[in-house]
Amino acid sequence: MYLPLLRSHHHDNVFPYVTNTSGVDPVIRLNDRPVQPDPTKHIYQEKKLSRCTNLTYPAREWMLLSSCSSFRVAIALAEPVLYLPGTTTNEIESEKSAVLRGSLCLHVLKPVKIRKVQLTLRGKARTEWPEGIPPKLFETYEEHSLLSHSWLFFHSDNAGNNTSHGAVWHKIIPTYIDEQHYPRTPECFYPGEYVYHFELPISCSFPESIHMDMGSVNYYLESLVDRYGTFSGKNTGRMGLELIRSPCSSNIATAEPIIVSKNWEDRLKYEIQLGEKSLIMGQLIPITFKFTPLGNVQIQKIRLFLMERRYYYCRQRTIRRKEKTRQLLLYERSAPRDECLLSQWKTLGGNNYEMADQLRIPGCHDMSANIVHFDTTYPNIRVTHTLRTVLRFSCNDSPELMGDAKFLEICIDSPVQLLSCRCSQDSTILPAYCARVPSSEVLCAYEGTPIYDPSSFLNNNLPEVVGTSSPTVDEWPSVSFQVPPPKYDDIFDGGLNE
C-alpha cells in the first residue's frame, strides 16, 4: 500500500503580485461564506441509530438495528470508533491490530421460530466517475470489497442448548420458564433476552473511513435473523462503523513544530513557526512570526492557506482524476494603506519584530459541508494537504528586484498531515486514573465537544453479569461500577479497611 510521507523541507517562491487571477484556483474564505455549516451538526451523527431501551444486560449503549412484532435486534460496541495507528508503511507494519468488540442482543417479544441469527462485518470502497471510466465510458463508478467477516451465532440445524440457543447470556421472562407447559425446541425462542458476544482484530493496513462526494470507504455491521414461515422472511439491520487513522505514538517527528527561517536577498530575515506537522481538524494551533528588515522593506499583508489536493484512481491505478486544488484562507493580517504591518507588532529590540497569534484549523462542520477532508492512506482515494504562507511586501530601494511590480510575494509551502477531529488527545491517549472511570467517550477537537455522551444513560449501580446458567425470577444484586483498588498507604501502613 502506498502511503504519503511527510517531508521535512519547505519550498518557497518569490514572484510579482498581480491582480489577474485567471487560471488560479479560487480561494475559499471560511468566514465570508453566505451559509455557514450548522455548528450542531457532526458528520458522525448524521446516520446515528436510535437508542434501544428496556434491556437488562449492561452495555455502554444499546443501538436498535431492526425490529418487528416478534423481536428486536440491538447492538452495543465496546468502543464507539476504532483507531488505526500509523500513517506510513513502516508505522503500519509495526503497529498492533485494532480490536472490534461488542454484543448483539435478540430481544424476543413473543414466541417465534428462528432458523438463523448472524452478524456480518463488511467494508466497501467506491469511487464515482460521472463522466464514465475510460475508454468505453459506460461505467460510472468502481467498487471494491475490502472486508467481509460473519459470526454465525445460532442455526437451528446445529443447535446445542435448547434453552440458551447458543447465547452467552440469556434471560427468559418468568411466564415461560416452566418447560412442561412450554417445551424447548431448537428453533423456538421464548420471550426474553439472548445476548451474543463478538470480537475481531482489524489490521492497521485497512484504510480508514472516508466520506467524500466522489469517493468513500465505508464499514458497517449487518444483522440477519432468518425466521421460519413462508411469509416471515428475513429481518436485517445495518449499523455504520467508523475507522479513524491516528498518528503513531512513537513518531516524534510529527509532534515537532514547523519552523521556517530564511534570509531573502540580504534585505529581509524572517522566521515562521506553525504548530505541528500533524494538525487535528478543529484545533487551535499557535503561530509566531519574526521579521528583521535589513533594507527599506515594507510588509503589507500576511496570509495562511490550507491547500487541499484530491486524487481518485481506478482500474488498478491506471486511470487518475485530479480535482481543482482547494485554497482555504485560514489567516489574514493586512496593514493600512501606505503603512507597514510591522509598525503594529511587538519590538524585540533593534530592528526585530515579533507577533504571536492562534490559527483555527477547519473542523468536522466544514467536513460535513464537503469543504475539507482529512488525509487518507487508501491508494485509490488520496487527499494531501500543504500549509502555505504568503508574505506580500515592497522593496522601494531595489528597483532591479521590483521591476514593474508594485508588490512582491513570498510563498512558503510546508507539507502537513491533517487528522480527523476524533484524534484529539482526550480520545486517543489513555485516561488518568481516577476513582470512577467513565465509559468510552469520543471527543471532537472543536472545543472538546463530545460526540457520544454515555454518561447520560449509565447508572451508578448496574446488575451483575450472569453467565449461561438458568435464569431465575429473583432480582440480581447490585455491584459498584469499576471500584478503584485500595491505596498504597492503606495496605502497608494501616492494613486493609474492612
Based on the domain organization, do 95 and 53 belong to the same domain? yes
For the four alpha carbons of 130, 133, 136 and 140, in that order, the dihedral sign comes to: negative
pLDDT of residue 14: 55
Kindly state whether residues 68 and 104 are assigned to the same domain: yes
Is 413:394 a contact under the CB 8 Å cutoff?
Answer: no
Regarding whether 141 and 95 lie in a shared domain, the answer is yes
In this structure, the answer to whether residues 73 and 103 fall within a common structural domain is yes
Does residue 49 sit in the same domain as residue 20? no
Task: Output the CA–CA distances (angstroms, integers) from residue 243 to 98, 276, 341, 420, in the order listed.
Answer: 9, 23, 45, 10
281/365 same-domain check: yes
User: Which of 380, 400, 423 delimits the end of a domain?
Assistant: 423
Nearest Cα residue to 305 out of 419, 447, 446, 414: 414
Cα 444 from Cα 449, distance rounded (Å): 5
Question: Which residues have C-beta within 8 Å of that of residue 495, sequence separation ≥ 6?
Answer: none
Task: Measure the CA–CA gap between 134 and 38, rounded to whole angstroms.
Answer: 38
Distances (CA, A) of 329 to 260, 276, 372, 417, 429: 20, 18, 12, 17, 31
Q: Please check whether residues 156 and 19 belong to one and the same domain.
A: no
Question: 27-29 and 326-334: which strand pairing?
Answer: parallel
* 1 domain residue, yes or no: no
Same-domain check for residues 230 and 200: yes
Distance from C-alpha of 235 to C-alpha of 217, rounded to nearest angstrom:
25
Domain that holds residue 317: 11-36+253-423
> Within this chain, do residues 373 and 387 fall inside the same structural domain, yes or no?
yes
Region 179-199: mean pLDDT is 89
Which of 376, 394, 423 finishes a domain? 423
Region 45-66: mean pLDDT is 83
| pLDDT mean over 12-22 | 50
Q: 480490536: which residue's cell?
A: 99
Instruction: Read off the pLDDT band of 23 (50, 70, 90).
Output: very low
In a domain, 493, yes or no: no
Q: What pLDDT, in 10s, does the model give residues 231-256?
A: 778 999 999 999 999 988 766 666 78
How many CB atoms neighbour CB 127 within 10 A?
22
Q: What is the pLDDT of residues 198-242, one digit of tens each?
A: 999 999 999 999 999 999 999 999 999 999 987 778 999 999 999
Q: How many structural domains is the chain composed of? A: 2
Last residue of a domain, one of 423, 451, 480: 423
* Pairwise pLDDT comparison (436 vs 199), residue with the higher score: 199
CA–CA separation, 459 and 480 (whole Å): 10
Q: How far apart are CA 134 and CA 120, in angstroms?
A: 34
Q: Does the residue 465 lie in any domain? A: no
